[in-house]
Amino acid sequence: MATQLDTANTADAAAAETRTKDAADTSERSGTSRTPGTPGTPRASGIWRRGRVLATAALLLGLLLLLHASIPNRIGNVGSLVETFLPWCGLFVPLLLAGALLRRSATALIALLLPVVAWLNLFGGLLTDKSHPDGDLTVASHNVGADNPDPVGTARALARSGADVLALEELAARARGTYEKELATAYPHHTVQGTVGLWSRFPLSDTRPVDVKMDAGPLGDAKPAEVKMAYNRGMRTTVTTDHGPLAVYVAHLGSVRVNPRAGLSSGQRDAGAQSLGRAVAAEENERVVLLGDLNGALDDRAYAGLTSRMESAQETAGAGFGFSWPATLPVVRIDQILVRGVKPESAWVLPATGSDHRPVAARVSW
């Protein structure tokens, strides 16, 4: 009986040794160890192997933010379309972060650093309040909307805004008299040129229209002088303030359309921006303010002729992105205040009126 037990025990031991050897051989062939939590284990190597698609998406997002200016505009103005909504690319970061955490992917988390740093480099400064209580003059701009159902209420709200200089765009002929009547007390001086106007507490002089419609030349050359404007969407005037003369431009650039087939249609707006840029470049007064509905975000390369010569009051002295359109739920800032030769101290968006745009305002100092 003892001999039989010894024989059985010997067989069991031999079988166990064989199984251990087979497991070791398998582990050696796979290049991993069964000891959990040590380098080379399936768990440790998996956090680097998982989430490669998420990591690729994060890198592409980062490159988009870094190289947006290199996206060509030849097909459907894709570059301008991306730049218009560029700040919203940041929404993809928390989505990718959630995916990386769910997948427990270290690779995706590290790759996500690129778009985070790129976005903060572009827009991080807008997240802080850069406003100061100082200032010598308050300016405001509002596309009042040709279909505004309440021009009286809009005019009264603007009169209470505290602006010293107020620019209005998209002035319908039928509503012009309403604005002139309601704003007369607060603003004794005003001028209207076509569909844009300026109301001021200070005297105005040297007022003239500025052509911001589509240029005739394919390279943005100005139209011949004999071509008359059917209606005007731009103007320039001098405001004689207590601190000296200030050249003020008011503009309403052409609208843009987004078509699934054609992409961003912005030829008229872009040509108007070029024309406006040339006018500002030729301005002899060292202190200049541009107010208006430019129908685009300043990240768009179409405004390079303006942004290279002027600074945005919102970006310099505002808090946040200052989105102004559409009024019910603003997603982009297309109403702009640009300055040259004066210092922006603060910038903000005013409450909505009956227009589909929100008014924007800024306080500047000499």
What's the pLDDT score for residue 145?
Answer: 96
Residue 19 located in a structural domain: no
Whether residue 140 sits in one domain with residue 92? no
pLDDT band at 198 (very low <50, low <70, confident <90, very high): very high
CATH number for the domain that contains residue 340: 3.60.10.10
Identify the residue with better confidence: 31 or 283. 283
Whether residue 163 sits in one domain with residue 80? no
The beta strand positions in the chain, using DSSP E, are: 137-143, 165-169, 189-193, 196-200, 204-209, 234-241, 244-252, 257-259, 263-265, 288-293, 311-312, 335-340, 343-349, 360-365
What's the pLDDT score for residue 50?
Answer: 87
Q: Give the residue among 271, 268, 273 at the shortest CA–CA distance from 290.
A: 273
Q: Are 272 and 229 in contact (CB under 8 A)?
A: no
Whether residue 262 sits in one domain with residue 299? yes
Residue 275 located in a structural domain: yes
Whether residue 339 sits in one domain with residue 218? yes
Q: Is the pLDDT of residue 362 over 80?
A: yes
Rg, Å, the chain Cα set: 31
Residue 251 located in a structural domain: yes
Span 151-167, pLDDT tens digits: 999 999 999 999 999 99
92-103 and 113-123 helices cross at what angle (nearest 10)?
160
What's the pLDDT score for residue 5?
Answer: 43
Residue 284 located in a structural domain: yes
Whether residue 228 sits in one domain with residue 83? no
Q: Give the residue among 71, 73, 163, 65 at the shortest CA–CA distance from 116.
A: 65
Whether residue 189 sits in one domain with residue 54? no
Whether residue 92 sits in one domain with residue 58? yes
pTM score, two decimals? 0.81
Whether residue 135 sits in one domain with residue 122? no
Whether residue 288 sits in one domain with residue 252? yes
Whether residue 322 sits in one domain with residue 219? yes
Whether residue 264 sits in one domain with residue 181? yes
Cα 169 to the center of its chain, rounded Å: 21
Span 76-118, pLDDT tens digits: 788 888 998 999 999 999 999 999 999 999 999 999 999 999 9
Q: Is the pLDDT of residue 36 over 60?
A: no
Which residue type is seen at 194?
G
- Mean pLDDT, all residues of the chain: 86
CA distance 358 to 354: 9
Residue 13 located in a structural domain: no
What's the pLDDT score for residue 43?
Answer: 58
pLDDT band at 226 (very low <50, low <70, confident <90, very high): very low
Span 298-347, pLDDT tens digits: 999 999 999 999 999 999 999 999 999 999 999 999 999 999 999 999 99
Residue 150 located in a structural domain: yes
Q: Among the three residues 110, 126, 142, which one is the final residue of a domain in this structure?
A: 126
Q: Among the three residues 93, 110, 126, which one is the final residue of a domain in this structure?
A: 126
317 three-class SS: helix
Residue 244 located in a structural domain: yes
What's the pLDDT score for residue 73?
Answer: 83
Whether residue 358 sits in one domain with residue 313? yes
Residue 207 located in a structural domain: yes
Domain ranges, residue 51: 40-126
How many domains does the structure of the chain reveal? 2
What's the pLDDT score for residue 266?
Answer: 86
Q: Is the pLDDT of residue 20 over 80?
A: no
Q: Is the pLDDT of residue 25 over 70?
A: no
Span 261-288, pLDDT tens digits: 656 688 889 999 999 999 999 999 999 9
Q: Is the pLDDT of residue 255 over 70?
A: yes
- As a whole number, mean pLDDT of residues 130-142 equals 96
Q: Among the three residues 72, 104, 126, which one is the final residue of a domain in this structure?
A: 126
Q: Is the pLDDT of residue 44 over 50?
A: yes
